Amino acid sequence: MVCLTAAVAAGLLVAVSSLAKDVTVVVDGKSMAVRSFAGSVRDALGDAGVSLSFGDVVHPPAQEGVSDGTRIEVRRARPITLTLDGRTSQHLVTSTKVGDALAELDISPAAATFSAPRDGTVPLSGMSLTVYTKRKVYVVAGTTRLISRTTARTVREVLRQKRIDLRRGYRVTPPLGSFPKDGTVIMVTPPHTVEVQPGVARLNWRALAECESRANPRAYNPEGPYYGMYQISLPMWKAVGGMDLPSAWPTEEQTYRAQLLYQHVGGRWQVQWPRCGAHLF
């Protein structure tokens, strides 16, 4: 009888042992061997002391069954506060390296600068990451016309990169501290130290420009020669503080200098614009 009982017990041990499975659990690249009676991936992870959180990625899926030799991979979700070109958003990634996290966020590290080393670790607690992508920015400064492909954080940084000398009093738009998004046109113009009288500013400068040059800021008339949308001669342009050629500057600068010229001649528009000056009124 004793022998029979021992035989039954031994048989039960063999049967139970045959139900156990050797499972490999890999969490964020770290592997552990687990012997488990679990019927599903989720239960096997429980036997391994691994709990799942929102955003974690598990392969095979948690509800799938396990068999002897099953390999279960878990990638923990990590929160990232991403500031991309000045805009902040929240994300979850499963990458443990910054470079891989950027790729997961569909950001090419080769076309950006970022605030953490590419081979740096993304901690499980999360991190903040600032990224500036490469953008196409235009710089207009007098006769200088430049295209900059830049990851610069500010307009000031773009101008410094392109070695644009900012003389005292020069006006820059957008402001020097602003973010140069893709397609931004950075304008550098001479200082506007003389105030335009309100009555002069209210005149119909658009109509004058249409008559003189069809409002073409690059217009040139060799008879004067006369330049720009208001057909101003070089001596008169310089008399009101203009630099380079009138046609080298954007419409706002040309209009400002034309208004100063009107004030300079005491409102005698016939002297400067004998053919078209009446369109001002």
Query: Using one digit for the tens of pLDDT, what is the confidence trace for 220-244?
Result: 999 989 999 999 999 999 999 888 8
Q: Note the pLDDT tens digit of each residue in 242-266.
A: 888 899 888 989 999 999 999 999 9
Q: Do domains 78-133 and 198-280 have the same CATH topology?
A: no
Establish whether the linkage from the previous residue to 117 is cis, with ω within 30° of 0.
Answer: no
Asked whether 78 and 122 are in contact (CB, 8 A), the reply is: yes
Enclosing H/E stretch for 31: strand 30-36
Residue type, position 148, single letter: S
Among 3.40.50.970, 3.10.20.30, 3.40.50.2300, 3.40.640.10, name the CATH number for the domain at 21-75: 3.10.20.30
78-133 CATH fold:
Ubiquitin-like (UB roll) (3.10.20)
Q: Does the structure show a pLDDT above 70 at 11?
A: no
Q: Does the structure show a pLDDT above 60 at 6?
A: no
**Mean pLDDT score of the chain, rounded to an integer?**
89
Give the distance between the most distant pair of CA atoms in the chain. Answer: 133
Between the two ends of the chain, the Cα-to-Cα distance in Å is 125
pLDDT of res. 12: 40
CA 126/CA 139 separation, integer angstroms: 38
Domain boundaries, the chain: 21-75, 78-133, 136-189, 198-280
Asked whether 134 and 149 are in contact (CB, 8 A), the reply is: yes
198-280 CATH fold:
Lysozyme (1.10.530)
Report the relative pairing of strands 171-173 and 57-59 from DSSP bridges: unpaired
pLDDT of res. 13: 42
Pick from 182, 82, 81, 186: which is nearest to 134 by CA?
182
Percentage of the residues of the chain whose pLDDT score is greater than 70: 93
Q: Note the pLDDT tens digit of each residue in 105-121.
A: 998 877 788 899 989 99
Angle at 152 between CA 157 and CA 187, to 5 degrees: 55
pLDDT of res. 101: 93
Which of 17-26, 75-84, 165-174, 237-246 ranks highest by mean pLDDT? 75-84
0.85 surpassed by pTM: no
Tokens for 72? 């279960």
In sequence order, what are the beta bridge partners of 91?
A: 80
